[in-house]
């Protein structure tokens, strides 16, 4: 039986020792970050899913960096929304809290989330294709624009965004952390995700199989809706703010 009662879910969160949250593009969309899925999900007539690949980077790194410089500038202009802030509040109230995000915009840490696993990487980190060094680079002096061929500060090699591109594997250590957190939690909140990207989408059903209460918070139905214990239909900011109101 699927429940829709916010008050009951809030009580379960208050009583839980270990809570997980899994967020997707729908959460960041409320801050004005494009989802790149569905209608209008294009950039300069390019399909972003064809740009965000290692093959595209090898063929035309300047085009890929133009896309990511545009994304960095866009994210720099937006702020965390009510969903980000509510999850940061929830973290401070729950003894053991883990936030897993598929988003690469850094808005969860900006909102104050400290226990945040950025499973798909971050726009604000770069990785050297030569020496493999990974470090943060926000390029404050250039509003986030690293240019068409940014060079590694350590060896001079070509940098790439430290994100997981389509067709690339997840970091196995981070993935293990995600699985361990979801299989141990009492409640899992799944917010703003289409449940279409694997293997991350599998975490909700894995948590449920281990006895967790799983709640879907989304504006529309997903392939996993029928398996949920709770379904809150609406914008993530409104629903999460109701679950974790300000003191």
**pLDDT score for 34:** 80
Q: Determine whether domain 34-77+122-163 maps to CATH 3.10.290.10.
A: no
Chain segment 195-213, per-residue pLDDT in tens: 888 999 999 999 999 999 9
- In the chain, residues under CATH classification 3.30.1600.10 are 34-77+122-163
- In the chain, residues under CATH classification 3.40.50.1220 are 6-33+80-120+170-243
Architecture of the structural domain at 6-33+80-120+170-243: 3-Layer(aba) Sandwich (3.40)
Q: Is the pLDDT of residue 35 over 90?
A: no
Confidence of residue 142 (pLDDT cuts 50, 70, 90): low
- Give me the mean pLDDT over the 139-147 stretch: 72
Q: Alpha-carbon distance 183 to 180, whole Å? A: 5
- Give me the mean pLDDT over the 87-102 stretch: 98
Annotated catalytic residues are: 120
Q: How far is CA 155 from CA 54, 127, 152, 158, 162, in A?
A: 21, 12, 6, 9, 17
**pLDDT score for 39:** 47
Q: Is the pLDDT of residue 38 over 60?
A: no
**pLDDT score for 37:** 55
Nearest-CA neighbor of 244 among 99, 76, 32? 99
Confidence of residue 48 (pLDDT cuts 50, 70, 90): confident
């Amino acid at each position: 039986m699927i429940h829709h009662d916010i008050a009951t879910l809030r009580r379960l969160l208050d009583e839980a020792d270990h809570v997980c949250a899994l967020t997707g593009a729908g959460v960041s969309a409320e801050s004005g970050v494009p989802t790149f899925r569905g209608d209008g999900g294009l950039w300069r007539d390019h399909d972003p899913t064809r740009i965000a690949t290692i093959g595209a980077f090898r063929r035309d790194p300047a085009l890929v960096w133009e896309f990511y410089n545009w994304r960095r500038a866009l994210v720099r202009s937006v702020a965390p929304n009510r969903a980000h802030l509510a999850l940061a509040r929830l973290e401070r109230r729950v003894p053991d809290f883990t936030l897993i995000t598929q988003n690469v915009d850094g808005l969860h840490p900006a909102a104050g989330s400290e226990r945040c696993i950025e499973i798909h990487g971050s726009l604000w980190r770069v990785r050297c294709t030569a020496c493999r060094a990974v470090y943060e680079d926000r390029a404050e002096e250039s509003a986030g624009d690293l240019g068409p061929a940014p060079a590694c500060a350590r060896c001079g090699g070509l940098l790439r965004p430290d994100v997981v591109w389509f067709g690339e594997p997840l970091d196995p250590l981070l993935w293990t952390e995600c699985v361990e957190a979801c299989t141990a939690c009492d409640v899992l909140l799944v917010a703003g995700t289409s449940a279409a990207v694997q293997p991350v989408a599998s975490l909700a059903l894995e948590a449920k199989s281990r006895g967790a209460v799983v709640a879907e918070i989304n504006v529309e139905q997903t392939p996993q809706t029928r398996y949920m214990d709770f379904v809150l239909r609406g914008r993530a900011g409104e629903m999460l703010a109701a679950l974790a109101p300000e003191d």
